Amino acid sequence: MKRPLKLLVAIMAIALVGSGCGSDGASSTLSDAATMRYTLKGKPHTLHVSRARLLSEVRSLVTNKPFAKFLKEQSFTIDPHDLSADSKLTAIWLTQLIQQATIDELFAARHLKVTAEGRARAAKSAAGFFPAETIFPAFRALPDAEAFVMLKEKTYAGARRRYGELSDEVCKRIESEHTRKSLGELTSDD
């Protein structure tokens, strides 16, 4: 386990250094967003992430309405016509592409195959991690903040009926279930 981990760490370090400059300090090719150079079993290898692929994937991200909404909520600047508008998003996604190219190369070096079906299954599974539009109707036509307060009050009342006096452990669990993050950043002030 240590050997593959060391190899992956070495490839990532080389990828980060190689993405901006060559061994002589000169930049990589004009069509690359990143160029990674490394040695595996004594043989030099070069991986490329093209600018076209990077911009295409970033464009796909910012034109995906639920994901674009999530990005805006996280203070990213979103403009599908000007992808340089938010270099943070582009840099983050470039890092993801570098990692994917590195992992793909590591799989190839180990003669492991990832099928299109396997990638599709993984993509479908990962889709659940990203925000989607809410599917729940408003509770009793209350504004979200009021519904949130009512839900919290009813949760405590139900817990008292079930457990009697509430322990610190039960209260902590209730509070963790009612965090801002689990309710889409709602607060009682919204």
CA distance 113 to 121: 15
pLDDT of residue 73: 82
Q: What is the pLDDT along the chain (190 residues), one digit of tens a residue?
A: 556 666 666 666 565 555 444 444 444 566 888 888 888 788 888 888 888 888 888 888 888 888 788 888 888 877 767 766 557 788 888 888 888 888 888 888 888 887 888 878 887 777 666 655 555 566 777 777 788 888 888 889 999 999 899 999 888 888 877 764 444 544 444 4
Measured at the CA of 71, the angle between CA 47 and CA 176, to 5 degrees, comes to: 110
Predicted pLDDT at 160: 92
Please give the full DSSP string across 82-148, using - where no structure is assigned: -GGG-HHHHHHHHHHHHHHHHHHHHHHHTT----HHHHHHHHHHHGGGS-----SPPGGG--HHHHH
Burial 4-38 (b: 16+ CB within 10 A, else e): eeebeeebbebbeebbeeeeeeeebeeebbbbbbb
∠ Cα 22 54 83 (to 5°) = 115
Token pair of 41, please?
């079993």
Looking at residue 37, its pLDDT comes to 85
Distance CA 178, CA 175 (A): 5
Check: CB of residue 76 under 8 Å from CB of residue 88: yes
pLDDT at 130: 63
- The type of residue at 38 is Y
Contact 13, 92 (CB under 8 A): no
The confidence score (pLDDT) of residue 161 equals 92
Nearest to 83 by CA among 107, 114, 52, 104: 52
Spatial contact of 33 and 51, defined as CB atoms under 8 Å apart:
yes
* 0.75 exceeded by pTM: no
